[in-house]
Copies of this chain bind each other. A is one copy, B any other.
């Protein structure tokens, strides 16, 4: 069975001599003038796959744009313009009112203009294309991680997967615990400002949308390096700390999708700068391991043993 990445590689990856960067990073890059590149990315959210059909339309409007803004963050791009294609099973003015309010609330916060789109009838499907600007050569690519780099993550990991598991009745959280982790699932904060700040600090960056190991894996593959990470160093929420099923915790933290935090690698010489940045942004930035010359990613448990997961990340076709 083809994975999503094999599928893209086999059928949709051709050389693109006129682009700075084609298929295979968080965004594509095209050169638009002497000084600037444009980063372009698209994300399709489908009812039943990415969200429940009865999802709150305000939150859905927020999330549809947040997911795209997160791609801009992962490139170090300043988001500028968005395009929205929307397939709707029916026209509900209440739904549209709330959806557009959620979308524009986040768009206004980031001064992103909605400049075009398409609407049609069909299963609820939201496709946002976003464009952002990056000074020439400053994009944070997946392919530039260097041996010896620290590996950092922003925020706390696994809460979106934990909240989803609660909604699916696979785990049971208290109301308080659920309320602390559900915003990660329904109203993620794209780390745009962090991405901009990392332009001159990080070697490589990715957003954690498919799960930490899967997304870090993309950096390792593109950079032809390996990694060691320390499970106990990964920042988690108090809701996650309250969980008892060790295997499940590992799954949520290492392979839970939808986190939209950034994972980045940076030389050790940048540690102080990153710590100051974390304070200035009031956003946890935590070193969780380092880049190695050996291939593959080893996750050390607290007892020193390596952790093996059954499923290392989200794949729509597996």
Contacts and interface: CB of A to CB of B under 8 A. Distances in A.
Interface of A: 1-2, 4, 7-8, 10-12, 14, 16-19, 21-23, 27-28, 30, 32-34, 36, 38, 40-50, 80-81, 83-88, 91, 93, 96-97, 99-100, 104, 111, 113-123, 125, 127, 129, 131, 316-317
- Pairs A-B, 4 closest by C-beta atoms: A46-B122, A33-B33, A16-B113, A28-B115
Number of this chain's copies in the assembly equals 2
A84 B12 contact: yes
A188 B307 CA distance: 54
Contacts of A46: 87, 120-123, 125
7 contacts: A16-B113, A19-B113, A21-B115, A42-B85, A44-B85, A123-B125, A127-B127
Nearest to A87: B46
A222 to B, nearest CB: 15
A90 to B, nearest CB: 8
A28 B42 CA distance: 16
Nearest to A50: B120
Contacts of A21: 115
B81 A30 contact: yes
Nearest to A26: B116
A116 to B, nearest CB: 4
Contacts of A111: 18
Contacts of A99: 11
A96 B40 contact: no
Contact of A117 (B17, B30, B42, B125): B42
Contacts of A2: 91, 93
A30 B79 CA distance: 13
A45 B119 CA distance: 10
Given A81-B40, A131-B40, A114 B22 contact: yes
B91 A23 contact: no
A43 B123 contact: no
